[in-house]
Amino acid sequence: MTTIIRNDNGVKLERLGAVLIRYTLVIVLLWVGSLKFTAYEAMGVHEHAVNSPLLAWLANMMSTQSFSEVIGTIEIILGILIAIKPYAPKASYFGSLGAIIMFLITLTFVLTTPGVWQPGYGFPCPSPAGQFLLKDVLFLSAAIFTAGESLIASDLVNRRI
């Protein structure tokens, strides 16, 4: 017979990490989403979106500020949905799915935005704009993690009913 001894410190760190991943993602979505209502952030969003085949049509259909505010509203809603996992894990799951889609779209900007690679160096040396976009790989990973965690919690809630 094999006895499995759990490392309580490891379990505690893992739980803390899960909470920090979720609520750091929430903070970033709420904060950055709120910034989309400012003129300087609207210009930055617009510069990326107009080069994207996925978003250019929408960015060109409305004002720079209105487009940014739509994106900001989506980010804020997703942040709120991800945050409510303890109360509504299924809603949190859908918030995480939305964030996954959003970060996948944002990562396509690496392929469509001019100037993402450092002049004179090219791939794999990103410019500051490229570095800004590449951080979304981490946010995508966090959204995937929170989606799985919320789905597990949702299944557990459904089994108790």
Say how far apart CA 26 and CA 161 lie, in whole Å: 28
- Per-residue model confidence (pLDDT) at position 104: 98
pLDDT digits (tens, 9 = 90+) for 32-57: 999 999 999 999 999 999 999 999 99
- Per-residue model confidence (pLDDT) at position 51: 94
Overall pTM surpassing 0.75 (yes/no): yes
Give the DSSP letter string of the chain. Answer: -------HHHHHHHHHHHHHHHHHHHHHHHHHHHHTTSHHHHHHHHHHHTT-TTTHHHHTTS-HHHHHHHHHHHHHHHHHHHHTTTT-HHHHHHHHHHHHHHHHHHHHHHHHSTT-B-TTT-TT-B-HHHHHHHTHHHHHHHHHHHHHHHHHHHHHHHHH-
Say how far apart CA 59 and CA 72 lie, in whole Å: 13
Residues with pLDDT less than 70, the chain: 1, 160-161
- Per-residue model confidence (pLDDT) at position 98: 99
- Per-residue model confidence (pLDDT) at position 7: 76
Contact partners, residue 50, CB within 8 Å, separation at least 6:
56, 59, 60
Say how far apart CA 114 and CA 42 lie, in whole Å: 18
- Per-residue model confidence (pLDDT) at position 39: 97
